[in-house]
Structure 1
Amino acid sequence: MKVIAYLYSNPLLETAPDLSGWGWQVDEVYRDQAVEIATHSDNRKGRKASARPQWRQLLQDCQNQPADYLLVQRLDHLGDSVEEVGDRLAELEALNIRLILLESTPDPPPTALQTTDLQADLLKLLQQLQQEQHSRRIRQGHARNRIKALPPPGKAPYGYRRSKTRYIVDRTTAPVVKDFFEQFLLYGSLSGAVRYLAKRYSKKISVSTGHRWLTNPVYRGDLEYHNGEIVPNTHEAIISRDEAAQVDRLLRRNRRLPPRTASAPRSLAGLVTCGECQSPMTVTRVTTPRKHQEYLYLRPTGCTRQPRCKLMPYEQVLQQTIERICEDLPRAVSGAPLPDMDRIKQGIEGAIAARQALLDQLPPLIASGVLDPETADLRTYKLRTEMAELQTQVSQLPPVNLKAIAQAVSIPQFWLDLSESERRFYFREFIRQIEIVRQEADWQLRLGFIF
């Protein structure tokens, strides 16, 4: 018994199928990829026919050495239309080759194989094939637009207008988006930036919408498609690359904090824990009746000790935090095994430059006929998505001059000249946790830095 297999894939939509796990001993494998060529008769109808040289080779080989079974993963792999599939089924029938369709299904598990004798229920399968190929043609059209770096279907994001080939900055709404990013970069508070938009521009958005704005590659001049791939530098950006990198760093930093503390008005909120009961401490405000004076304390939120741990004066903890930073930060930075950020960054930037050099070589290859435009577009798309991934790695690197920054912020006057929101921003750049260590008649602070 001779068993052969025919594999077909469209590089725009999928990777080439693999025979492993099919459970068949195959004597010969024929592989085709989707390459469209225009024919004279089809051009009059506005259609295109697909070139399948390996299928023709399969038929020729079977005429010389007949096969018993042909394995195909799915029925639509035989042709791009119901007519093509019907013609190829007729060719197999003339050669007396039995067609076996193998397709993984979610139930049974994907590792199991299901075989279907097409001759038993051919009409039903052809009806399903029509629906599948209609969906496939739509996805192919979207994939071609993706390869050409055209915007995905749907409404343009707020701040942009849609043209035929790209997004265009909307001069009336883009300043709102720009101001939103600036507020977030200034104070590191997402909810604060959302409230600012509502107050300044009467533009009401939810916090989740604001988070989507901060992470949307469109505002950085890039396009992101449904498969998660990003194509860089496709249109004019609203924020710069440096600002985008700072946004990503702030979002990662805020994820380490307890809920609702990223926008708290006090700089120590979310950072202080009690060394005795290991409970987080929240800022409590106490006022005196008929007086405008207020007192701030740090209170353990989940203390289980009896008697309960006492409240700590906020201003005293703040003052000692500044003193500990000025004393401990330079020592911690100098003793930390920090990687060579300059070397790492240069390596990634070198990889980006190498891919850019490959991109620059494509136009001459197209002009000389070495590459056809379709293959060049696909190669361009892959190189640009790889460059976007490398650029993301660069943006996630910590500051390269951390030691110089530590020396600059180790001056007490630097912290005293800042407002509470500004101190909150800088505290969270360096401090992971502040632990209050209580003693019999006194207390001390122990700082945990993020590096």
Structure 2
Amino acid sequence: MKIVAYLYSDPLLESTPDPEMWGWEVDRVYQDLAGVTSIQKKKGSRKEVTGELRPQWQQFLNDSQAEPAGYLLVRRLEELGDSVEEISDRLTQLETLGVQLIAIDSPLSPPFNPTPHTPHPTPHTPIQNSPPSSDLLQLLQHLQYNQRSRRIRQGHARNRVKALPPPGKAPYGYRRGKNRYIVDRSTAPVVKDFFEHFLLYGSLRGAVRYLAKQYGKKISASTGQRWLTNPVYRGDLEYQNGETVPDTHEAILSRDEAAQVDRLLRRNRRLPPRTASAPRSLAGLVVCSQCQSPMTITRVAASRKAQEYLYLRPTQCPNQPKCGSIPYDQILQQTIARICEDLPRAVSGAPLPDMDRIKQGIGGEITAKQAILEQLPNLISTGILDQETADLRSYKLRTEIAELQAKLAQLPPANLTAIAQTVSLPQFWLDLSESERRFYFREFIRQIELVRAGKDWEIKLGFIF
């Protein structure tokens, strides 16, 4: 008994399936790709495209005339054609050849477990996927739905390959142009100001409150989070399949600013909820070493007096008596002193990778792929590549470039030693506000541990690197 398989796939929608995917041994696999055309040479011109064919299907039919196969395996019935009529014609061809069809992913197909004793089908053997009349309507509806879904996905995929915006409303700050997003001059300044406020203070909720107060633009924190991570504001397009195409339209957020936003978001994820926007710089950083409880900031005001005092106290202390509170200003001054003393030593002793070498390597890969992109128009003009193949190759190269750019943006700054030297000067901290101190604390410090020794105490800094 001869068993063959047929695969049909669209490179725009899926990766090329593995011919060995069937789970058992087949005699031959015929495989066609969507977009393959028949090309004939014509006198006086180089090439003429005569239309889309399925050359491997034709080869299967020719081989079956000489030596009919017993079974033909396909993944889904709709892979036999681009319409119900084409599928019906190919089912008739198989029935004429006496080949039984097995669609392994079809809901109406029975399981296929071939054995060495399976009889060879005769020309009168019914096609395996020919359903009873009660299932015929269900099968037609299933095929029509899948074909319509496939056509819609193919249309979206063609737009994706051409780097056209996805369907739907343009993000706030943009409007839809003919082939790309265009900056909306009336709303883009609002988005730009939102990003600048977040970069200055590192607080998402603070930036959301700023928009509501400054522009009357009320958005939720989750919407602000989507703005911060949306590739559209960086000049890129991200599609439903998760792939990103860079530099498709004018950006509101520069590459350097986007890298800083990503670094701030990663930093804030390490902190307890709602402390990223807390007004005090030590919020969410201090932990009591004795009870391992995080410490929160409390305010105490004297009766009938405007002056108030700040303290840090444990929130979940199990000890009896509970660990006492410590004045906030004392811990703040001790933290600044420890940073000035410990940070340069920690940076010099940390096993930091060679950032310059890593960035040069990634930059070289990006340059090489951009050089290939620049060669594609010449390959089209000389007839080496057709337009569809070139568009697909360009799309894949651009998504690979986007991945490399994202990897490059996640690297820490190469001048970390110089930054540490500047931050380690006591004068640097004198004129900073609490919000500015919060920014720099969280850039370097992972945790501040309060070590108690009776009534005395000291702090120990845990740096991020």
The interval holding the TM-score normalised by the smaller chain is over 0.9
Aligned 8 A contact 1:32 1:53 in 2: yes
Residue of structure 1 in register with 2:419 after alignment:
405
Instruction: Give distance in 2, aligned partners of 1:136 and 1:430.
Output: 50
Say if 2:186 is the partner of 1:172. Answer: yes
Residue 209 of structure 1 is matched in structure 2 by 223
Task: Work out the CA distance in 2 between the residues paired with 1:165 and 1:114.
Answer: 51
Out of 287, 301, 307, the position equivalent to 1:273 is 287
Question: C-alpha displacement at 1:442, in angstroms?
Answer: 1.5
What are the within-5 Å matches in structure 2 for residues 9-88 of structure 1?
9-35=9-35, 50-88=52-90
SS in 2 for 1:8: strand
Could you say which residue in structure 2 is the equivalent of 1:372? Answer: 386
What is the SS of the residue equivalent to 2:449?
A: strand
Contact 1:103–1:113 (Cα < 8 Å) also in 2: no
Answering whether residue 111 of structure 2 is matched by residue 100 of structure 1, we say no
**Which residue number corresponds to residue 117 of structure 1?**
128
- Distance across 2 between alignment mates of 1:139 and 1:368: 31
Distance in 2 between residues matched to 1:114 and 1:266, nearest whole Å:
69
1:183 counterpart SS class: helix
Instruction: Tell me the C-alpha RMSD between the 2 structures.
Output: 1.9
CA–CA distance in structure 2, aligned partners of residues 104 and 169 of structure 1? 47
Q: Are the counterparts in 2 of residues 219 and 238 from structure 1 also a CA contact under 8 Å?
A: yes
Q: Which amino acid aligns with 1:325?
A: I
- Alpha-carbon distance between aligned partners in 1 of 2:323 and 2:291, rounded to the nearest angstrom: 8
1:104, 1:340 → 2: CA distance? Answer: 54
In the other structure, the counterpart of 1:190 is 204
User: What CA distance in whole angstroms lies between the structure 2 residues aligned with 1:325 and 1:131?
Assistant: 64
Q: Is residue 428 of structure 1 aligned with residue 442 of structure 2?
A: yes
Deviation at 1:416, TM superposition (A): 1.6
Q: Quote the residue 1:317 is aligned against.
A: 331
Structure 1 range deviating more: 19-28 or 232-241: 19-28
* Contact 2:296 2:314 (C-alpha < 8 Å) held by counterparts: yes
Distance 2:409 2:3 in 1: 52
Give the Cα–Cα distance (whole angstroms) in 1 for the partners of residues 131 and 171 of structure 2: 50
Q: Does structure 1 conserve the Cα–Cα contact (< 8 Å) formed by 2:77 and 2:106? A: no
2:172 aligned with 1:161: no
Partner of 2:2: 2
1:416 maps to: 430
Note the C-alpha offset of 1:259. 0.5
- Is 1:261 the counterpart of 2:263? The answer is no
Quickly say closer, same or farther: Cα 1:321–1:104, change in 2 above 3 A: farther
Whole-Å separation in 1 of the counterparts to 2:244 and 2:68 = 47
3-state DSSP class of the match of 1:210? helix
Letter in structure 2 aligned against 1:435: E
- For the residue of structure 1 that corresponds to 2:130, the secondary structure is helix
Unpaired segments ≥5 residues, structure 1: 40-47
Secondary structure of 1:120's counterpart equals coil
In 2, Cα distance between the equivalents of 1:315 and 1:193? 26
What is the Cα deviation at residue 38 of structure 1? 10
Q: Structure 2 CA distance, aligned partners of 1:76 and 1:430? A: 57
Q: C-alpha deviations, 1:353-392, integer Å up to 9, x for none? A: 0100110110100000000000000000000000000000
Select between 163-172 and 436-445 the one with higher mean Cα deviation: 436-445
2:247 is equivalent to residue 233 of structure 1: yes
Query: Aligned equivalents of 2:215 and 2:368: distance in 1?
Result: 44
Matches within 5 A, 1:268-417: 268-417=282-431
Give the Å deviation of 1:24: 3.1
Q: Deviations over 1:191-222 (max 9, x none)?
A: 00000000000000000000000000000000
> 2:121 maps to what in 1?
none
Partner of 1:44: none
CA gap of 1:114–1:131, structure 2 versus 1, over 3 A, is: farther
Residue 13 of structure 2 aligns to a residue whose secondary structure is coil
Alpha-carbon deviations, 1:306-357, whole Å to 9, x = none?
1110100100100010000000000101111110011111101111001001
Q: How many residues align?
A: 438
How far apart in 1 are the matches of 2:53 and 2:293?
69
Between the aligned partners of 2:67 and 2:238, the Cα distance in structure 1 is: 49
User: Residue 450 of structure 1 corresponds to which residue in structure 2?
Assistant: 464
Normalising by structure 1, report the TM-score.
Answer: 0.94
**Residues 202, 277 of structure 2: 8 Å contact kept:** yes
Q: Is the 8 A contact 1:103 1:114 kept in 2?
A: no
Deviations 1:66-107 (A, max 9, x none): 1111111101110101111111111111111111111188xx
Counterpart-to-counterpart distance in 2, 1:62 and 1:18? 23
Distance 2:12 2:366 in 1: 23
Structure 1 residue 49: deviation in Å? 6.4
Cα distance between partner residues in 2 of 1:104 and 1:393: 41
Matches of 2:162 and 2:36, distance apart in 1: 16
Runs of 4+ displaced beyond 6 Å = 112-116
Offset of 1:131 from its aligned partner? 1.1
Matched, 1:248 2:272: no
Query: 1:36: Cα distance to partner?
Result: 6.2
Whole-angstrom distance in 1 between the partners of 2:387 and 2:140: 34
C-alpha deviation, 1:37, in angstroms: 5.5
Give the aligned residue type for 1:63. Answer: Q
Q: Which shifted more, 432-441 or 182-191?
A: 432-441
